[in-house]
Amino acid sequence: MAADSGAFTNEDSESGEEEGKHVKPFTPEKAKEIIMSLQQPAIFCNMVFDWPAQHWTAKHLSEVLQGKQIRFRMGTKRTDTAPQFETTCSYVEATLEEFLTWNCDRSSISGPFRDYDHSKFWAYADYKYFVSLFEDKTDIFQDVMWSDFGFPGRNGQESTLWIGSMGAHTPCHLDTYGCNLVFQVQGRKRWHLFPPEDTPFLYPTRIPYEESSVFSKINVVNPDLKRFPQFWKARRHMVTLSPGQVLFVPRHWWHYVESIDPVTVSINSWIELEEDHQARVEEAITRMLVCALKTAENPHDMRAWLNPTEVEETSHEVNCRYLNGAVSAFFDHYGTSKVVETQALSTDGEYVIKEELNVHNHVEGAQTSSHSLTLGTVKQEAASPFGPDLVPVIPGSQEPPSERGGMFESDGEDFVGKNGKRFGKLHCTKRQRMMSESENAVVEQMASNSTVAPSQTFISTDDLLDCLVNPQVTRIVAQLLIQGRSLRL
């Protein structure tokens, strides 16, 4: 394979059909162009057939890791309306071999999983960074080749591994940094995705706190619409990701991910973006506020609010350095001479935030017709990059997708990238909604967050934090800090 093209040479192919099977549908340059242009999730097909990592089943990895202890998050197979955050889960240190034995549903089992009935619990080895997991086997990094997607030199060293049993899932959240590429290796995962402009309808919260993760208060597969009435307006995009496919998740898209097969293995990499420089300032502000208020409230019980994956020191001194470092990095990147127009003051004195996210005067509506959204094909125009090897994830049914070989159904709506370039027809039902409705929902969201009776006046630390570290608020604070700093330079 040519290292810079991401495609096999075809001189020795005996037929056009055989030749087609050995050529990747997109060059690295084209794949990167698509990734940097799309504002909507999409699935790449036939891009990883030559990756050694395509053979990384859980059984194979158990042999590679040779008894290495891994931490598994243990969750319950329940159906209530509350999200199952990581702070409410138990944790087990075990080998992959022990996990696979337990996952065979043996009634009498010894070892670390002995207290967890397989019929009532799921297990998830999540957020396993390659650099820690394979610290003494660094050659294995080359088995993952993100260079095929236009990122030269990027491999397993910048990746994380996820291994779960049926029912294992991550609560609905958005990542504040970068965009995401996810390679499904074994089993299938169902993805529930929501666009960034629907954030008010997802009721964001920073408790539990985790660097770069904004969680939703809603269990999106079993929502409590009485407590969270705005959620019905959120536009769910749902797709089942199968082995050999790579899902692209654009910046700030919400996602809830669940394993729907007995064993699932996936590999992901977060791709850094230009917008991350300001996002890191916003994250530093959030960290400083959350840690200051929560440690003051109860310095001896961090487990109740700090995600187990968040292991860095949370002292005020450390967070101060973190914030100053983020602001300095922002100016190191852009230079002090550049005028950073992050906000403008309107004539009536209100701040108007200039967003570079996927914000339009009119956005897609909440009501969509019922579609089955497993992988397949969609009608395309000749100039469109979409086709059998790149399938957009479109708004669809809130019912689980059928497994009939994967057919996207659609009607006809143009799909537009960041630069305004039209990529062809996305076939889905839309209704128009003014952005003011989304903005007004922020106030309604805050009003409906509280579970105390109207006669009660108690406001908890978490109630205050929900307002202080709301993503829209921290964005304004970050912009004010940057403006103030620029005036002094």
Q: Report the greatest alpha carbon distance in the chain.
A: 79
* Average pLDDT over every residue of 410-434: 36
Q: Which pLDDT does position 333 carry in this prediction?
A: 87
Q: Between 33 and 417, where is the model more confident?
A: 33
Q: Which pLDDT does position 231 carry in this prediction?
A: 97
Kindly report the backbone phi and psi dihedral angles of residue 193, in degrees, each rounded to the nearest multiple of 5, phi listed first: -120, 145
Q: Is the peptide bond before 250 cis (omega within 30 degrees of 0)?
A: no
3-state secondary structure (DSSP) of residue 486: helix
Q: Which pLDDT does position 299 carry in this prediction?
A: 77
**What is the CATH code for 28-272?**
2.60.120.650
Q: Which pLDDT does position 309 carry in this prediction?
A: 81
Alpha carbon distance 145, 375 (integer Å): 23
Residues with Cβ within 8 Å of 470's Cβ and at least 6 positions away in sequence, in order, are 204, 442, 446
Residues with Cβ within 8 Å of 391's Cβ and at least 6 positions away in sequence, in order, are 42, 43, 45, 375, 376, 377, 378, 408
Q: Between 154 and 18, where is the model more confident?
A: 154
Q: Between 105 and 11, where is the model more confident?
A: 105
Lowest mean pLDDT among 68-72, 316-320, 395-399, 446-450: 446-450
* Average pLDDT over every residue of 254-274: 97
Answer whether residue 149 shows pLDDT above 70.
yes
Q: Between 362 and 417, where is the model more confident?
A: 417
Under a CB-based contact definition with an 8 Å cutoff, are residues 162 and 266 in contact?
yes
Lowest mean pLDDT among 57-71, 392-406, 425-439: 425-439
Q: Which pLDDT does position 418 carry in this prediction?
A: 45
Which one of 16-20, 208-212, 308-312 scores highest in mean pLDDT? 208-212
Alpha carbon distance 89, 253 (integer Å): 25
Average pLDDT, the chain: 78
* Average pLDDT over every residue of 245-263: 98
Q: Between 479 and 157, where is the model more confident?
A: 157
Answer whether residue 321 shows pLDDT above 70.
yes
Lowest mean pLDDT among 2-16, 256-270, 295-309, 463-477: 2-16
Each residue's pLDDT tens digit, 40-51:
999 999 999 999
CA angle 465, 276, 349 (to 5 degrees): 60
Under a CB-based contact definition with an 8 Å cutoff, are residues 373 and 400 in contact?
no
Inter-CA distances, 411 with 242, 370, 395, 399, 432, Å: 25, 12, 12, 19, 16
Each residue's pLDDT tens digit, 69-121:
999 999 999 889 999 999 999 999 999 999 999 998 765 677 899 999 999 99
Share of the chain above pLDDT 70, in %: 71
3-state secondary structure (DSSP) of residue 175: strand
Alpha carbon distance 462, 348 (integer Å): 32
Lowest mean pLDDT among 69-83, 88-102, 316-330, 386-400: 386-400
Kindly report the backbone phi and psi dihedral angles of residue 467, in degrees, each rounded to the nearest multiple of 5, phi listed first: -85, -45
Q: Where are the domains of the chain?
A: 28-272, 273-348+469-488
Residues with Cβ within 8 Å of 96's Cβ and at least 6 positions away in sequence, in order, are 58, 61, 62, 65, 68, 70, 125, 163
* Sign of the dihedral through C-alpha 279, 285, 289, 290: positive
**DSSP assignments along 122-174, one per residue:** EEEEEEEEHHHHTTT-GGGGGG--GGGGT-TT-SGGG-EEEEEETT-EEEEEE
pLDDT tier, 441 (very low <50, low <70, confident <90, very high otherwise): low
Buried (b) or exposed (e) across 277-314, using 16+ Cβ within 10 A? bbbbbbbbbbbbbbbebbbeeeeeeeeebbbeebeeeb
Q: Between 199 and 361, where is the model more confident?
A: 199
Alpha carbon distance 415, 237 (integer Å): 15
Q: Which pLDDT does position 179 carry in this prediction?
A: 97
Q: Which pLDDT does position 335 carry in this prediction?
A: 76
Question: 58-65 and 96-103 are packed helices; what angle lies between their axes, rounded to 10 degrees?
Answer: 150
Lowest mean pLDDT among 121-135, 158-172, 383-397: 383-397
Answer whether residue 417 shows pLDDT above 50.
no
Residues with Cβ within 8 Å of 475's Cβ and at least 6 positions away in sequence, in order, are 278, 282, 353
Under a CB-based contact definition with an 8 Å cutoff, are residues 359 and 14 in contact?
no
Answer whether residue 481 shows pLDDT above 90.
no
* Average pLDDT over every residue of 426-455: 42
CA-nearest of 192, 211, 232 to 448 is 232
Answer whether residue 341 shows pLDDT above 60.
no
Token readout for 191 is 């993805």
